[in-house]
Amino acid sequence: MFVLFWKIAALVIAYLLGNFNSGILFSKLLFHKDIREHGSKNPGTTNAFRILGKGAGSLVLFADTLKGALAILIAGWLAPGSELWLALAGVCVTLGHIFPVLFKFKGGKGMATTSGVALAAQPVVYFTLLGPFCAILFGTRYMSLASLSVALLLPPTALAWNGWRFTPLIWMYIFQGITIIATHHANIRRLLNGTENRLFNNKKHSKINEKHSTINEKRSKINKKKEESDEQ
């Protein structure tokens, strides 16, 4: 019973670690703004790069990756020798990031946190996929396309490194891959329509994106005012 307590504690800690949303916290502490009110309004890494800049975006990427790795390391300490509980911890930290109870269940899309999980659980899987991710990202400047590609490659890559055996970690990767694809459903639609914003845009594209963001923000404010007037 005592051992089970620590295993469950590992899952709770993993979920709460996922709730630590660095995009929201850094935007408020360092820039005195809420990232959820700007750009795509998503508090994840991609929007952090666009709204907060490369420096702060890199901090968000590091923090989101770190919490995924910490969840696995803590689970390995509290539930030593159990791959099942490691996998469950990986699922919990991912869910905590995407559906954080501390932020009304509205979080990021899970890519950075998933990469942290893979880095701590099976570094060989992480480094195998790091190359394709960077190649797609810097080749196309679509963060969403790079994330979706890795989400698709994650399960078969892990399977190959695990001798094509369906272990608990493999099922965790399958879950994470499906989840990342699901959270990127709007990005998939924009990629197909040719309207997806690129990361690290040149100045011309940056000005266009800024104008679009400003227009969307103004529309949101107008809609809020209309809703408030209707309520009155």
Q: Is a pLDDT exceeding 90 seen at residue 21?
A: yes
Q: For 181-192, what is the mean pLDDT?
A: 96
Per residue in 133-177, pLDDT (tens digit) is: 999 999 999 999 999 999 999 999 999 999 999 999 999 999 999
Give the integer Cα–Cα distance in Å for 159 and 171: 10
Instruction: State residue 40's pLDDT score.
Output: 86
Q: What is the pTM of this model?
A: 0.84
Q: What percent of the chain stands above pLDDT 90?
A: 81
DSSP 80-136: TT-HHHHHHHHHHHHHHHHS-GGGTT----SHHHHHHHHHHH-HHHHHHHHHHHHHH
User: How does residue 211 score in pLDDT terms, banded at 50, 70 and 90?
Assistant: low
User: How does residue 213 score in pLDDT terms, banded at 50, 70 and 90?
Assistant: low
Q: Is a pLDDT exceeding 60 seen at residue 107?
A: yes
Tell me which amino acid residue 2 is: F
Give the integer Cα–Cα distance in Å for 58 and 110: 16
